[in-house]
Amino acid sequence: MTGSPRRTLLATAIALLAAVAPLTSPATAAPRAPAAADAPAALDLTASRAQWIDENTVAWDVRGDAASQELVYAHDGRLALKDGELAGKGQRIRLTPAAGGLTEAQREKYPHLKGYAAFTVDPRDRDRIRHALTGQLVATRSGADGTLLTATGVQTQGILDDLYAATATKASLGPRFRDGRPTLALWAPTAQTVSLELDGKRVAMRRDDTSGVWSVAGPRSWSGKQYRYVVKVWAPSVQKVVTNKVTDPYSTALTADSRRSIAVDLDDPKLAPKGWEQLRKPKAEPLRDAQIQELHVRDFSVEDRTARHPGQYLAFTDTASDGMKHLRELARAGTSYVHLLPAFDIGTIPERAADQAAPDCDLTAPAPDSEEQQACVAKTAAKDAYNWGYDPLHYTVPEGSYASDPEGTRRTVEFRQMVQGLNGSGLRTVMDVVYNHTVASGQADKSVLDKIVPGYYQRLMEDGTVATSTCCANTAPENAMMGKLVVDSLVTWAKEYKVDGFRFDLMGHHPKANILAVRKALDALTPKKDGVDGKKIVLYGEGWNFGEIADDARFVQATQKNMAGTGIATFSDRGRDAVRGGGPFDGDPGVQGFASGLFTDPNASKANGTPAEQKARLLHYQDLIKVALTGNLAAYTFTDSAGRRVKGSEVDYNGAPAGYAAAPGDALSYADAHDNESLYDALAFKLPADTTAAERSRMQVLAMATATLAQGPSLSQAGSDLLRSKSLDRNSYDSGDWFNALHWNCRDGNGFGRGLPPAADNKDKWAYGKPLLASPNLTPGCAEINGTSAAYQDLVRLRATEPAFSLATAGQVQSRLAFPLSGTGAETPGVITMELGDLVVVFNATPEAQRQSVGALKNRPYALHPTQAKGADPVVKSASYERSSGTFSVPARSVAVFKRG
């Protein structure tokens, strides 16, 4: 999971859930039946408990009889409750109870409303529906004596789709140009009026009653002009009719800090850097072969003294910088993609350098375990130039703070130059996209969508409040026009910016149908027609299952289990947790795993249990890693550590199936990402305190190897191959450059020992971290940093050149991949031996050399793989094979790959 200010709230919620069931990914919480104290007020216009789901039907969670039911609407928004009665001038639409409630089709479309009563709109009043939707709406029930029994606001997202979606989803929205002349179009079906504010004047816009789209055509002189829409609309969040001046949700360019949209044609040759039209891309790898580096634009270069454009898009054009040299090394080894953390318009960073705050103290002076650094960073965190960026303000404009000038179109040109720079270095570009929430909603300053069609683009709870399970204001891509915005935005990034892939934040909060619609739209892009081959664009995301939509409560979600077989990958936490140990929200961060010494090199933490408990957990972790090495295949069968023949789906992962994939490429493996502690920091907490820097380096490579050498794609946080540390910060979304910056030159260290991490998310772990930050064992030198990277690159190179790591089907994996020593007899705790076609891979996570005898391979000619035999790691070169007994000998804390001659 990823985030911004939401991170603390979301992490806290998950931690509370984990206290009940120890999950390591967002947990599924069953809906709680309201207690008597929770019963909603019968008369409350600030809530919206009735839902108008289609032209004929209102769904309402009410019980008991009433003499009459009505929808009352008022354009002036002055309906109010006074002395138990509805006051104000309004017009009425009659409702009749529908026998049997919602129809089967309606229950299937709105499963969360299946227990609601249904009311039918009187046919005589249906000609007033469109008019009614442009004002305040109240649903009422009255007794035979006229007493008002129930009154509530009305949610309208369902009927808006029913009335307008068929036409509106085909409309072209935002600025469009033809022969240099712009047309501006905005979907605002509930607005009473919409006009265009441009050049200090208001220009009337025309409404299309079929689609609900307002539009206006202008002269060529409008090109490059700043504009906003002026929208008069009923706003339930403030219970009044408001006139909002709001930017275009389909903006293609913005002024600094997103104050105004700019009418820009992205096809204008002036916005194309030299060579843009002829851009040659590196070879496209199938998703199952993707080796991905996850990278933050600012982290990449802000402290790179060799970069000419620190912290900017243009740093990726600095071909002589240390950072770009390192990326080219990774590309030559076989890394295929750079995944950029959010680079769309972000709502939490001042875009002008002059407006950005910076720590006003000497951060280098305090001790490595001091509280002073984090305190100084925290003072300016809200106004500095740093944020991960999971705070979308405008979805389809590059973030301005990464541009040399945030005003106007420099950001467009420079984003394109960044893509050119990465492509020219042999790397395709993936963009992290966040369509599951907005930075704000309602009438808040940074709300956009909800100021235009209130209550539509945001997902609403049963009472009409905005859902915040992602910690911010959730969006509703299940609604047609939010789903369209997702598709349209991604097509723009693909066509106009030549982005090669997309990673979806909290993809499980999207309907599966929405993500498949994205895939279909991208597949339709062709080099001849669009300048890009959409079929080669990769898609993957976080398929976590939690929140108000958990377990397909409102729609079939784009979760891990549901996306299997679609060709769209989901992050797999199974191998990650087994390799690292424990989970992201453990009270004691010393809980060990396969690559952090569980049982074989125990630390002092009592949370690990007795030796017998450690051994049992380690062997189960090894089963989880074996499933991960198959690509998390559900149907793959093998012998588990208890000697049972099981499928991947039958191996337990905190109560869920470990294996869920249908084919290699459905699951993405990783040992670390921007969320939670970096791999080095996790191992710092978990390995015994006296573990040397050299030994830590070897365990880092071993942990990364479990993802790199698995079937299917793998991702690594940039800098992990250089032992990247964030000084133990488990949530560095707003921790500034001090804790986040990448250090490409080993003489600058790896980021460890920069003080205790920020208190807001880490203070409860300070007692564990303080002695570590002061320990010389955890400060690696150039030998360890460069050695780790070189050994990792050997593994990436080996994976990229051996076809056995790129099996295309589950059947091929079943027939060619095996774990010959699994079971109760020959399995060694802390060692996994994998046979893969002509290869044998031994992961030895123990502190001693290990011998693995595979009788079935006796007398076959194996030798250490040439890539490792001639590679950078001197220790692994001592690995050997004894042909007469079929025994593979592997040094401590090493992964060795043997090849049959």
* Distance separating alpha carbons of residues 415 and 719, to the nearest angstrom: 22
| Active-site residue (options: 294, 304, 542, 827) | 542
- C-alpha 488/C-alpha 346 separation (Å) is 19
Q: CA-to-CA distance for 781 and 693, rounded, in angstroms?
A: 8
CB atoms under 10 Å from CB of 127, counted, come to 8
Angle between helical axes of 480-497 and 512-523 (0-180°, round to 10) = 30
Residue labelled with tokens 């074989």: 600
Taking CA atoms, 435 is separated from 367, 528, 546, in Å, by 41, 29, 16
Let me know: does 544 contact 26? Beta carbons within 8 Å: yes
From the number of C-beta atoms within 10 Å of its C-beta (0-12, 13-18, 19+), residue 869 rates as middle
What distance, in Å, lies between the first and last C-alpha atoms of the chain? Answer: 44
* Catalytic choice (299, 505, 695, 794): 505
Element (H, E) at 329: helix 322-333
User: Active site includes 542?
Assistant: yes
Helical axes 573-580 vs 611-629, angle rounded to 10°: 150
Which residue has tokens 């200010």? 5
Closest by Cα among 630, 505, 593, 623 to 845: 593
Alpha-carbon distances, residue 234 vs 190, 438, 454, 743, 750 (angstroms): 8, 20, 8, 51, 54
285 is catalytic: no
Say if CB 551 and CB 28 are below 8 A apart: yes
CA distance 491 to 678: 33
Three-state DSSP class for 328? helix
**Burial code of 854-868, b = ≥16 C-beta within 10 A, e = fewer?**
beebeeeebebbebb
Q: Hey, what amino acid is at 757?
A: P
Q: CA 62, CA 42: separation in Å to the nearest integer? A: 9
Do the beta carbons of residue 373 and residue 363 sit within 8 Å? yes
Tell me phi and psi for residue 813, to 5 degrees: -65, -45
Q: Are strands 569-571 and 538-541 parallel, antiparallel or unpaired?
A: parallel
Give, in order, the Cα–Cα distances in Å from 471 to each of 6, 15, 482: 4, 14, 19
**Is 561:741 a contact under the CB 8 Å cutoff?**
no
Which residues contact residue 509 at a Cβ distance below 8 angstroms, ignoring those fewer than 6 apart?
436, 437, 469, 470, 474, 477, 547, 549, 557
For residues 215 and 205, the answer to whether their CB atoms sit within 8 Å is: yes
Residues 6+ apart with CB under 8 A from 96: 69, 119, 120, 122
β strands within 250-306, DSSP E: 261-262, 291-295
- Distance, in Å, from the CA atom of 232 to the CA atom of 259, rounded to the nearest integer, reads 19
- For residue 305, count other CB atoms closer than 10 A to its CB: 11
Strands 667-670 and 261-262, how do they pair?
unpaired
723: left (phi over 0), alpha (psi -120 to 50) or beta: left
Residue 488 and residue 496: Cα distance in Å, rounded?
Answer: 12
Q: Give the residue carrying structure tokens 């199952």.
A: 288
The catalytic residues are: 505, 542
